[in-house]
Chains A and B, each alone.
Chain A
Amino acid sequence: MPTRILHKEVLIPGKTSKLVLDAPQIARKAQPGHFVMLRVCATGERIPLTVADANPQDGTITIVYLVMGKSTSMLDTLGQGDHIHDVCGPLGHPTHIEQRGTVVCVGGGTGIAAMHHIAKGHARAGNRVVAVIGARSKDLLLFEQELRLIADELLISTDDGSYGRKGLVTELLRERLEQDKDIFEVLAVGPVPMMAAVAETTRPFGVRTTVSLNPIMVDGIGMCGACRVTVDGKTKFACVDGPEFDGHAVDFGELRRRLAAFREQEAVAMQDWRASHEQ
């Protein structure tokens, strides 16, 4: 079903935008942790994107994307009032949220947007939320204001030190874990190396660590097995068993290799699109 873009906010010019979509059917069911599958146009590829926010009253969902290849480049050409060719969801298991105490939500890059929805869920459930976000520099940091509204604490790091602590989110996380022994869960959404690093940081502390995985998907509804990941030595399908898994048990190396399986074709598609787009 064509889905209308009600509002577009450019977060990082040419790279990342936030879209508010008119999707009442999805909004009434969407919970933190869910994702949608979308195709930008009739000849487009189905791609998964995490739901960054949902408002059942208004019938809207929010998605945030990073321009990576052809599909997201095409998506970035759309503006307010335009339609995405089809959007399907909500898919995946929602985040397991219960009132337990203090949770640390770590977000990196575009993953901060997805983490925001989960942090919001924890805050609503009455948990104390410590949000930790990081980016290469200040202008690449997303959702700071939104997180300030819901998090009890917001810790920020940038690689170049242009804002917050200079360094990686894992350093902030380690310090926090050393100070605070009551943290019941650490949750991470972001690039694969960042999620792997978070899992390694928490491992010595024995804190439950949940990561939200982003493997390649084709249908997203449990039919094809493209999104299989190895967790604790067993094959799982991220679309129906996940997308969240125990970060201490995920084979991140395999995930990274499988994410690169179509790199050559992705480059061809991107080149082809650039050539036709620049004419």
Chain B
Amino acid sequence: MNNKQLPRVDMPCQPAVERRGNFEEVALGYTRDMALTEASRCLQCKKPLCVTGCPVEVPIRDFIGHVARNDIESAYRTIKTTNSLPAVCGRVCPQEHQCEGKCILGKKGQPVAIGRLERFVADTHIASSACEQVTGANACARPLKQRKIACIGSGPSSLTCAGVCAAAGLKVDVFEALHEPGGVLIYGIPSFRLPKNVVSTEIDGLRGAGVTFHLSSVGGRTVDVAELLQDYDAVYIGVGAGLPIFLGIPGENLVGVFSANEYLTRINLGRAYDFPKHDTPAYRGRHVTVFGAGNVAMDAARTALRMGAESVHVVYRRTRAEMPARREEVVHAEEEGVQFSLLCAPVRFLGDAEQKLCAVTLQRMELGEADASGRRRPIAVPGSEHDMPTDLAIVALGTRSNPLLLKATPNLRLNARGYIEVDATSGETSIPNVFAGGDIVTGAATVILAMGAGRRAGQEIVRRFAD
């Protein structure tokens, strides 16, 4: 069944000219024929390296084997043994650095499109199990044991931990601070990359497995760790990233300068793209500048285009090669008309007479020696300052830890960077039976790394309380 000489099957997408005017999903997904063809390229290695590249160790070879035999339900069950959110991961994982980066076919040609196949399997399952979704029945649900687990936060790491625990029959309560569950999957990642119904379907699946969601419940405020420990056997802290990092340059508090978190939260969680039907407004800009070059920067840039911007510039102080964003996002952004001002750094924001943003002063950079991150350090070129007109600036430089839960839990040991210190294998914190994972442990990272941490902690909780 191996067809390794075939080219990798392309993913159909909405044409760039159309999609830059809507919030519908950009990548349309494989048809069954495409999926079967792509699956047939897999070598079915005896020792599959792809699995070693996956933070949650999805049995990739085995699920692709099922796809090649057109047994999509078996493929789904295979993925679900280790991954509770396959429809999400198929869409947002940086596969080129993980599973696909290890694929043998990638050494000489193009790796198997593992992410696209995972998405196809998850979407096909969701479409075919519509009845199960409606009735709420779930084959995975098991009789509940007496033990109870609390998860704080409902982003990818908490959801994964909840899924692992619920599948083992533990009673799980999830406490989410916002009014909608999903964490960054809801407030951060735009619907054109991850449709909201994909997230809600995965969450409904967890509800079906017996997980209860308590919304508008802020960890460290409405509920705190010490109280939860009185009612629950274990607590998992997956509260995610927090305060946005700003550039620290003059003019940053002018009207018109936003963090990517605020800009995206207004549009994704608040549905500002549908204003005034939804009440949350977004700030409109004709000439938008985005600072940073990670996935969040790409999301913000592409969102600004869809909100009607005439021009969008991503300003980055290094070059394309150093951009941390997923490759596909950079390509999609460029196709849609996002422009890149590389080797440029902002110096100050300039305001008009009303103190509204009207321009940013940039300076050119050149790359010097490699720094601690292994990337070449950008150095300012003297005398290269120039102004770029902009009426909406979006700062996407990442985040620091959120202080709410940490300050309310004084006996929680933190590392030098202010994130929670955990045992590397179990994910347990300095407080017994309190676990943590995701961005509140690692700092801003990827959905799948957060899920990996949630899975490891979930497995340890299951070992302690369900076996």
Contact = CB atoms under 8 A, between A and B. Distances in A.
B404 A25 contact: no
A88 B279 contact: no
B175 to A, nearest CB: 10
Nearest to A229: B253
B280 interface: yes
Interface of B: 177-179, 187, 214-218, 221-223, 241-244, 246, 252-253, 255-256, 258-259, 261-262, 265-266, 269-271, 275-281, 283, 354-355, 399, 402-404
A43 interface: yes
A43 B279 contact: yes
A70 B217 CA distance: 25
A88 B265 contact: no
A265 B221 contact: no
List the 4 closest pairs (A to B, CB-CB), nearest first: A265-B281, A224-B262, A88-B216, A45-B279
A1 B402 CA distance: 23
Interface of A: 1, 25-26, 29, 39, 43-46, 70-71, 85-91, 218-219, 221-226, 228-230, 235, 237, 240, 254, 257-258, 260-262, 265-266, 268-269, 272-273
A269 B258 CA distance: 21
Which of A45, A70, A221, A223 has its CB near the most chain B CB atoms (within 10 A)? A223
Given A222-B403, A258-B255, A43 B221 contact: no
B403 A225 contact: no
B253 A235 contact: yes
B403 A235 contact: no
Given A29-B221, A39-B179, A224 B259 contact: yes
Contacts of A235: 246, 252-253
Contact of A237 (B243, B270, B279): B243
Main secondary structure of the interface of B (DSSP, over half): loop
Main secondary structure of the interface of A (DSSP, over half): mixed
A94 B404 CA distance: 13
A260 B306 CA distance: 24
A1 B215 contact: yes
B222 A257 contact: no
A223 B243 contact: yes
B238 to A, nearest CB: 14
Contacts of A266: 281
Contact of B270 (A46, A87, A268): A46
A268 B265 contact: no
A222 B277 contact: no
B276 A268 contact: yes
